[in-house]
């Protein structure tokens, strides 16, 4: 972990490790020769893939969606669905400027892949399965819609315009969280890997944490209520702690269990479990305490 200074804050960078990446998904596709792109876009195939992946990787929940292009696709972005060696990723960006990004329509929940995905969440919950819904952060979503250099430049040169664009994406992400809750999902993970301190730089990372991340998580907490938990990526946690907008806490749980099991156990007890990367499926916690974070009031 490297420390980087930004303004008065000190934001650590979290290095993603091999065990943090979800290779398990592609392994399942190869093992069962699952059809691409159907496993990303058709309800029955998404459902089958989610259950097989849970079983194969011995997880306490089904992970949905399987990649980080769902939100951008629902906003009209171009997605290439890959094959058994690479998952879905961004195709050619549909926006060439921040003005075009601002003019983009909101997420469509009633058709296409997003509708199928939310329907799968409903069906899995009906079948008694626990579901982890993977939410992406703004930079990760925009990465599919526009060349991110426009965003980085915007944060530096036209912060007021960027604040407006962040406000628009916040609205869409909160709308999505409401839909996910309506589908019966109790567990969400939040990560913005394209928005790390290494990519943004310490000053812009601090600005984004104050302008977007902390306020967004505060509003998300109101939607989560007592029925849901949102697992935060270590990159987000370090940004909150480094800007003094997050405070460490802990949630007790009985006996020894994996991090993923402890996160399920935290539903209704803690809103933001945040001890490690959620992709570390086998990592055990032996001390009966799950690290959490509380979002402090922002005084940007």
- Asked whether residue 271 is assigned to any structural domain, the reply reads yes
- Asked whether residue 163 is assigned to any structural domain, the reply reads yes
Across the chain, mean pLDDT equals: 91
The SS3 assignment for 158 reads coil
Is the distance from CB of 149 to CB of 204 less than 8 angstroms? no
Q: What sign does the CA torsion over 25, 30, 32, 37 have?
A: positive
Which tokens hold the place of 283?
């990592």
Which tokens hold the place of 31?
């093992």
Which tokens hold the place of 37?
């792109």
DSSP string, 166-209: HHHHHHHHHHHHHHHHHTT--EEEEE-GGG-HHHH-HHHHHHHI
- Asked whether residue 240 is assigned to any structural domain, the reply reads yes
Q: Which domain holds residue 219?
A: 2-295
- Asked whether residue 213 is assigned to any structural domain, the reply reads yes
Please tell me whether the peptide bond between 171 and the residue prior to it is cis, using omega within 30 degrees of 0. Answer: no
Q: What angle do CA 270, 191, 77 make, to 5 degrees?
A: 135
The tally of domains found in the chain comes to 1
Cross-strand bridge partners of residue 235:
none
- Asked whether residue 125 is assigned to any structural domain, the reply reads yes
Give the H/E segment covering residue 5.
Answer: strand 2-6
20: CATH: 3.20.20.210
- Residue 60: C-alpha distances to residues 32, 39, 169, 261 (Å): 21, 21, 31, 6
240-251 pLDDT per residue, tens: 999 999 999 999
Q: What pLDDT was estimated at residue 2?
A: 36
- Asked whether residue 15 is assigned to any structural domain, the reply reads yes
- Asked whether residue 300 is assigned to any structural domain, the reply reads no
Residues in the chain, pLDDT under 50: 1-8, 300
Q: What pLDDT was estimated at residue 195?
A: 82
94-128 pLDDT per residue, tens: 999 999 999 999 999 999 999 999 999 999 999 99
């Amino acid at each position: 972990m490297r420390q980087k200074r930004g303004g008065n804050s000190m934001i650590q960078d979290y290095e993603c490790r091999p065990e943090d990446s979800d290779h398990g998904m592609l392994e399942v596709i190869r093992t069962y020769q699952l059809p691409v792109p159907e496993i990303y876009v058709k309800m029955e195939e998404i459902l089958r893939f989610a259950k097989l992946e849970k079983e194969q990787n011995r997880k306490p929940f089904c992970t949905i969606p399987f990649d980080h292009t769902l939100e951008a696709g629902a906003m009209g972005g171009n997605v290439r669905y890959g094959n058994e060696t690479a998952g879905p990723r961004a195709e050619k960006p549909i926006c060439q400027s921040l003005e075009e990004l601002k003019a983009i329509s909101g997420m469509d929940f009633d058709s296409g892949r997003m509708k199928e995905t939310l329907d799968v969440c409903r069906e899995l919950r009906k079948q008694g399965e626990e579901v982890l819904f993977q939410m992406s952060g703004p930079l990760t979503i925009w990465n599919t819609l526009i060349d991110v250099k426009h965003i980085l430049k915007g944060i530096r040169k036209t912060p007021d315009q960027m604040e407006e664009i962040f406000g628009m994406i916040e609205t869409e992400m909160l709308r999505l969280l409401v839909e996910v809750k309506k589908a019966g999902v109790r567990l969400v993970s939040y990560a913005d890997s394209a928005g790390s301190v290494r990519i943004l730089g310490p000053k812009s990372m601090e600005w984004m944490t104050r302008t977007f991340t902390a306020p967004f998580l505060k509003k998300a907490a109101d939607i989560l209520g007592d029925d849901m938990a949102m697992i935060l990526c270590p990159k987000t946690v370090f940004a909150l702690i480094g800007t003094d907008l997050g405070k460490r806490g802990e949630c007790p749980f009985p006996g020894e269990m994996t991090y993923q099991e402890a996160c399920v156990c935290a539903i209704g007890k803690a809103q933001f479990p945040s001890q490690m990367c959620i992709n570390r499926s086998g990592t055990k916690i032996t001390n009966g305490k799950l690290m959490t974070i509380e979002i402090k009031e922002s005084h940007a």
